[in-house]
A = this chain, B = another copy of it.
Amino acid sequence: MGRRNLHSRDELRELALSEAARLVDSGGMAALGMREVARRMGYTVGSLYMVCTNLDDLIVQVNERTVMQLRASLEAVAGRARQPARRLRLLCAAYLDFAQEHTQRWRMVFEHRLPPGQAAPPTYRGHTHAIFGLVASALRDAAPAREGSRSRDTPEELAVVLWSAVHGICMLAVTGKLGVSGTHASTRRMLDLLVDRFT
């Protein structure tokens, strides 16, 4: 063929990213290949390289969307509870839900490695920061309830610690590295158990 103009460049990128995401969701990061993505778009490889310079670049773009989506999920539940302790539990549950619903894409965010030297992580630092902000805010609101004993630690510090911990639990649970008990319920219980220690 030659020039078709069926899709604008933006539509092409949209096609590419959504097909790539679908591919990852179904078969994991390893299933993501340039040829296959192009095939599903109804184009050939050459055209795919018009919206991304690399396979790595394609992955980064998909990841960016995933983080955005995750942030939106968390922000959605953050307003649903007045009491900070309850809000923290909701945030944890939402994080776990997201990790279980979009396991493959979520793992890709944390497991993909750009080639050495290159990189400097892209825009999604901002999203990460916003997420930590949600947690820190809830911890700040909860602060009066546990004042006195350990008031040295700032909510920001606590947020990083707590959220890294939540992340670790979700990751090990979702990848099945926790041994036998991988049920949703038991993981949720662990998260609650963790949050209890921070409120």
Residues of A within 8 A of B (CB): 27-30, 110-111, 113, 115-116, 121, 125, 128-129, 150, 153, 157-158, 160-161, 164-169, 171-173, 175-179, 190, 193-194, 196-198
Contact check: which of B115, B164, B176 meets A165 at CB < 8 Å?
B164
Looking at the assembled complex, report how far the CB atom of A80 sits from the nearest CB atom of chain B, in whole angstroms: 25
Which residues on the B side are within 8 Å of A121 (C-beta)?
A: 176-177
Indicate how many identical chains form the complex.
2
A189 to B157, CA, bound (A): 10
Which residues on the B side are within 8 Å of A116 (C-beta)?
A: 27-28
Pair B165/A128 contact, Cβ less than 8 Å: no
Which residues on the B side are within 8 Å of A160 (C-beta)?
A: 178, 190
Taking A27-B116, A169-B168, A177-B128 as contacts, is the C-beta distance between A161 and B193 under 8 angstroms? yes
Taking A168-B166, A196-B150 as contacts, is the C-beta distance between A28 and B161 under 8 angstroms? no
Looking at the assembled complex, report how far the CB atom of A127 sits from the nearest CB atom of chain B, in whole angstroms: 12
Q: 22 A-B Cβ contacts within 8 A?
A: A29-B113, A110-B177, A111-B111, A121-B177, A128-B179, A150-B196, A157-B193, A161-B190, A164-B165, A164-B169, A164-B171, A164-B173, A164-B178, A164-B190, A165-B166, A165-B168, A165-B169, A165-B194, A166-B168, A168-B168, A168-B172, A197-B197
